[in-house]
Structures are given as structure tokens and as C-alpha cells.
Structure 1
Amino acid sequence: MKFRAVIMLAIAATLSACGVNSVPTAEEAAKARWADVQAAYQRRADTIPNIVATVKGSAASEGKILTDVVNARANATKVQINAGDLTDPAKVASFQQAQGALGASLGRLLATVEAYPTLQSQANFQALIREIEGSNNRINIAIRDYNTSVQAYNTKIRTFPDAIGAKIVYGAKPMVPFQAAPGADANPTIDFGNSN
């Protein structure tokens, strides 16, 4: 009887040191952070129609930029990724590309606003600009938190002793961190001469 108890304790100790509990905990934390990234992007997408409506009222001549923003928002909301897709680099890259296009369109919109001092002075527009800035800050924080969780998970499934449970019990695969879009490190070019 004592021998069985000792064996059971040894098995329990061995399993607890092999990532049986820590691997799924780390995986779920990373998935939760991904949900935060999606929520931050959704918040920004929900704010855009209000911004577009406000800008249309004051800068109707810049219709192409507004159309680009609306189209980019539509494309960004079409690309969906769920927690099960976080190990697929192509799906994560597709999501990032769509969100990057939306961010670039918003950048052009904000640059256009800089050219219209009367538009800048409108209280409603100023409030909406603060909303966009707040949304972008939330997105950046959510991405940082997601990448931190992915790093912790990926490290856990690759280090001893958790790697044993990760491979044998769960068949764990590394998750894909969120990366900046190509060219994100370059300064944007703003040209007010031609709005084609």
C-alpha cells in the first residue's frame, strides 16, 4: 500500500514537472492575449465610420482618401483568424497585412486633416482623432502583450522539462508572434499635390 502511494506521488511529481499543467496554461494565456489584439482592432474598425462621416462633412473634396479608408476597413474586417490559426504563419501574416493596410489609410486621412486647419478646429473631429490615437495605443499594447505571451509559451514548449509534456501529451507547436508589416520602419511619404 505504501509502495503504491510512493509510486503515485512519484508519477504526480514527474507529470507536474513535464508541463502537463503549465503548457496549456501558457497556451491559453497566449490565446487570450490574441483575443485582446482582435478586440483592439475591432474597436478601431468600429470607430472609423464616425471619423469618415465627420471628415466627409468638412472635406468632401478628399473623397478618394475616405473611400480608401472605408475599403481598407471592409477588407480588414473580412480577414478573420481564430486561436487555432495562431500556429499558421500565413494566416497571421494575412491578418497583419489587412490591418496594416487599414492603418496606412488612416495615416493618409490624418495627413489630409493636417492640410485643413478648419477641420482640425472642430471639436467633434478632435474627439474622434483622440479615439483613433487611443485605439492605436490599445492595439500596440495588445500586440506587445500577445507577443510576450507567445514568447513565454514558445519558450515553455521548447525547454526541459516542460518540452516533454508539450510534445508527448499535447503535440504542441510554436505560435506565431505578431510582426510589423514590411516597410513599417520607413517614414510615410505625404504628398498633398495629387490626391489620385
Structure 2
Amino acid sequence: MKTWVKSLIVVIIILIIIAIPMISSYNNLVTLEQDVNVAESNIDTQLQRRSDLIPNLVNTVKGYASQEKDIFTEIADARSKLAGANNITEQANADSELSGALSRLLLVVENYPDLKSNQNFQDLSIQLEGTENRIAIARQDYNTAATTYNTKVKSFPTKIVASLFGFQEKPLYKATEGAQQVPEVNFSS
């Protein structure tokens, strides 16, 4: 066998040895990125479910508390921002704003005992509570998937493949600043 043929075989073997882990890393990154995309979609689905429930809840409360117009406006504005969010960070900010407005709405309800005993309101409240729990789980699932993906993107030698093929870190779903503070509700005005 000629020397150049042996050299060619050695080069081909080396290329195969390099290509197999690269292909494996690439496929793994694609899988992890899809997991992140599915988790983000699940957040969207649960936020949409909550957005669909809110008008019914607001209309039920409006019948009892028509003088609480500011809270209804806040909820409508926050829903609009959530619907117009273009990325996970904007979505997290709008979601936090909507959650705050809903918290204030539920505090308003405390002043209307007849409303709290209304079956329609109770049913909507239970559905909303379940949806809030689903949203929390969807956020956790997204952050878990994003963390797994981000760790892989940053890890050597996958980092090389990630940079070659344009895989970039995914942002974590974070609450906005001030989201940990309890909203202030003033009924004296």
C-alpha cells in the first residue's frame, strides 16, 4: 500500500474520531434547546389560560364593586402588556405586573362578603388558583430546562460546538424588581 493511501486512511480515521463527538454534541444541544422551547411554550399556554379566566373574574367582581375602576384598568393594561411581550424577559415583567394587579383585585374582594359567597366567583377563584399553580410549575420547568441547556452550552468541549453553530444561552425566567413586595392597597380614597 502506498504511503499516501495510508496517510489518507489515518486522516479519515482522525476526522471520524473528531466528527462523532461533534455530531453527538450538536444533537444534544438541539434536544436541550427544544426542551427549553417546549417549557417556554408551556408558560405561554398557562398564561393564556389565566388571561382567558381574568375577564370572567373581572366581570363578576364588577357587578359587586363597580366603584373600583382603577383595578380593572390596571388588569386590562397588564393583560395587554403580557399579550404584546416579545421575549421571555418582557413576558416575566408583564406577568409580574398582572400578578400584582390580580392580588389587588382579590384584596378588593375582601370588602364584599356577598361577592365571596357568589358561586360563580368561587368557581373562577378556584380555577385561577389552579392556573397560578400551573404557571409556577411551568416557570420552574422552564428554568430547569434553560439551566440544563445553559450548562451544556458553557461546558467544554460542547462550548466549541455551541459557538460554531450559534447556540446561545437562554435567559432564566425571573420576577421583576419589587415582585417580592406585598402590594399596597388603600381603601380610604
TM-score between both structures, scaled by the size of structure 1: 0.84
Structure with bigger gyration radius = 2
Gaps of at least 5 residues in structure 1 are: 82-91
Matched, 1:187 2:182: yes
Q: Tell me what 2:92 maps to.
A: 96
- Size of the aligned set, in residue pairs, is 182
1:51 Cα offset (Å): 0.6
- Percent sequence identity over aligned pairs: 36
Distance 1:120 1:150 in 2: 40
- 1:98-152 Cα shifts (integer Å, max 9, x gaps): 2221111111100000111111000110011111111111111111000001100
Q: Is the 8 A contact 1:23 1:156 kept in 2?
A: yes
The 5 Å alignment of 1:19-168 reads: 19-81=25-87, 92-168=88-164
1:93 Cα offset (Å): 2.8
TM-score between both structures, scaled by the size of structure 2: 0.86
Aligned residue type for 1:67: T
1:45 Cα offset (Å): 0.7
Q: Tell me what 1:14 maps to.
A: 21
- 1:149-192 Cα shifts (integer Å, max 9, x gaps): 11001000111222221112x12211111101101122222322
Aligned residue type for 2:172: P
Deviates more, 1:4-13 or 1:56-65: 4-13
Relative contact order, higher structure (CA 8 A, sep 6+): 1
Distance 2:17 2:77 in 1: 60
Q: Is the 8 A contact 1:26 1:153 kept in 2?
A: yes
Q: Is the 8 A contact 2:39 2:145 kept in 1?
A: yes
Gaps of at least 5 residues in structure 2 are: none
Instruction: Tell me how large the CA RMSD over aligned residues is.
Output: 2.1
